[in-house]
């Protein structure tokens, strides 16, 4: 993420220097009006500051120092607010729809960052045992200081999913194609279940005794689940079964939510079994 934010900062800075002498283009963000150059400057500073903080945290990690959860959570929330702030340009949305879409944007950010972090961070059983031991002893501060960032991101994403689900159930569905089709209320839950299934699969593979290239193996499995299987179903004329393997916007509770819940339960069951087996080796 440090590299990505550094590249984004450089891109924004080049855009700022290229357009700073042109006519002032208004930008609406969080209901506030900025000139184009002012907002580009703000964006450069925003991403640059977080890049510097990220470098500092990486240095602390290299020196085996704990960072704690608060800076990461602050970054995550601020990045979500930054992106969802552009919705203020959509003046035709009522406040409820505006809130739901803003939460969906934040939710999408949480999902993507969780995926990115869970593949980029170590997933060794020694670290999980350390956290489990501290939790059993009630040392929650040490647990919080050593929680992997993907777990913190997952927690924020779950909270956003609940918020999206509640608002979606209490309001009219969001139109997604302009032709009378709407985003189902349980779509956010479906996406969350797919993500939990994928993370559980990744942890399951990483917890085996020989965990070399475990992440690559998981990527292959996910390519099969998200690519090969849906392609076979599509060519076989079984498109109605696609929501079982891909979070489709036009799925419903029976074809979309229930199958992925079953998949989650199965993968989590095998994950717990492998955890118990590996944990017993250290007792």
Sign of the torsion angle spanned by Cα atoms 145, 151, 157, 158: negative
Contact 186, 247 (CB under 8 A): no
Predicted confidence (pLDDT) per residue in 171-213, tens digit: 776 665 555 556 777 889 999 999 999 999 999 999 988 878 8
> pLDDT tens digits, the chain, 283 residues: what are they?
555 555 555 455 455 445 544 445 677 888 788 877 777 788 888 888 888 888 888 888 888 888 889 999 999 999 999 888 888 666 666 777 778 888 999 999 999 999 999 999 989 888 999 999 999 999 999 999 999 999 999 999 999 999 999 888 887 766 655 555 567 778 899 999 999 999 999 999 999 888 788 999 999 999 999 999 999 988 888 888 888 889 988 777 888 889 999 999 999 999 999 999 988 887 6
> What b/e string do you get for 75-106 counting C-beta neighbours within 10 Å, with b at 16 or more?
bbeebbebebbebbeeeebeeebbbbbbbbbb
What pLDDT does 282 receive?
74
CA 283, CA 272: separation in Å to the nearest integer? 17
CA 157, CA 107: separation in Å to the nearest integer? 6
Choose among 174, 169, 152: nearest CA to 105.
174
Instruction: For helices 95-120 and 149-170, give the axis angle rounded to 10 degrees.
Output: 160
CA 111, CA 194: separation in Å to the nearest integer? 10
Question: Residue 169: which H helix or E strand, with range?
Answer: helix 149-170
Q: Does the predicted model carry a pTM greater than 0.75?
A: yes
What are the extents of the domains in the chain?
A: 1-65, 77-172, 185-283
């Amino acid at each position: 993420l440090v590299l990505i934010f550094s590249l984004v900062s450089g891109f924004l800075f080049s855009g700022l220097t290229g357009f700073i002498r042109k006519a002032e283009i208004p930008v609406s963000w969080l209901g506030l009006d900025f000139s184009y150059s002012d907002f580009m400057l703000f964006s450069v500073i925003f991403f640059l500051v977080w890049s510097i903080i990220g470098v500092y945290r990486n240095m602390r990690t290299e020196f085996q120092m704990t960072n704690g959860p608060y800076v990461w959570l602050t970054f995550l929330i601020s990045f979500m607010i930054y992106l969802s702030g552009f919705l203020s340009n959509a003046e035709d949305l009522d406040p409820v729809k505006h809130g739901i879409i803003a939460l969906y944007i934040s939710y999408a950010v949480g999902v993507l960052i969780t995926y990115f972090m869970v593949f980029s961070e170590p997933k060794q059983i020694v670290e999980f045992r350390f956290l489990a031991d501290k939790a059993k002893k009630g040392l929650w501060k040490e647990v919080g200081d050593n929680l992997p960032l993907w777990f913190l991101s997952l927690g924020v994403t779950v909270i956003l999913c609940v918020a999206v689900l509640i608002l979606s159930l209490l309001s009219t569905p969001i139109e997604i194609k302009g032709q009378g089709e709407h985003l189902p209320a349980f779509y956010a839950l479906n996406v969350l279940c797919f993500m939990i299934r994928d993370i559980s699969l990744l942890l399951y593979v990483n917890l085996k005794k020989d965990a070399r290239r475990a992440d690559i193996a998981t990527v292959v499995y996910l390519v099969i689940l998200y690519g090969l299987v849906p392609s076979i179903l599509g060519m076989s004329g079984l498109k109605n079964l696609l929501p079982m393997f891909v979070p489709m916007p036009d799925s419903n509770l029976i074809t979309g939510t229930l199958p992925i819940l079953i998949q989650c339960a199965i993968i989590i069951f095998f994950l717990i079994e492998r955890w118990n087996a590996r944990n017993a080796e250290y007792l």
